[in-house]
Amino acid sequence: MQTVTEFTAFHGPKLLASGNPKHVAESVKEFFKDGPVENVLVFDNTRCHIVDIDFRGSTQEVLARLESGVQEPAPAAENSRGPGRPKLGVVAKEVTLLPRHWDWLSSQPGGASVALRKLVEEARRINAGKDQVRAARECSYRFMSTALGHEANFEEASRALFAGDHIRFEQLIAPWPADLRNHLESLAAASFLTSNEGVEK
């Protein structure tokens, strides 16, 4: 399944729009009408990085540049796969292991490749909850550092975030600007899952 990237735009502490890139870009241009777009930060909601959008010109010009710069890559053509490659796709990369590891892998049913894929899938299943928490904390911290790093109690709130102390975190960020705080709370929600949550049974 292809993941659709969503953006969120702020003008200072004010939320302008959140949603697909086209909607956000149109909303920003509408907010500023015919004037220059100033003091706007646009974030990628998945990784919480700042997105550099060129807002110069008309809305149509902005959308044309946006489409050419952030559109999802088209699916690979059916005949672009190499011979013998399954439809799901296989990527060949180098793996460095000790001889005993190769010996063990080679002895497994299906050989080394099948055994490695099974090991990776099992590790992903076991660590899914921890990975979700870690990713949410890192994303939230990137947003905090960029948009809220000047706020009171920033360092203490950061420590509460990485310590998984939800109550303390909420107390510390309570005085922060409402729109920025609400977005941060949404991003950070998965940071406070227990290790058993978010994992398929």
pLDDT in tens, 130-144: 777 888 999 999 999
**Per-residue confidence band for 194, with pLDDT thresholds at 50, 70 and 90:** low
pLDDT, residue 81, reads 44
Q: What residues form DSSP beta bridges with 44?
A: 7
Those residues whose C-beta lies under 8 Å from the C-beta of residue 170, and which sit 6 or more positions away, are: 185
pTM (two decimals)? 0.68
pLDDT in tens, 21-56: 999 999 999 999 878 899 999 999 999 999 999 999
pLDDT in tens, 148-177: 999 999 999 999 999 999 999 999 999 999
For a pLDDT cut of 70, what percent of the chain falls above it?
78
Task: Give the C-alpha distances (Å, rounded to integers) separating 169 from 14, 15, 150, 152, 159.
Answer: 22, 21, 16, 13, 8
The Cβ of residue 14 has, within 10 Å, a number of other Cβ atoms equal to 14
pLDDT in tens, 61-112: 999 998 887 434 344 444 444 444 445 555 667 778 788 877 777 788 877 7
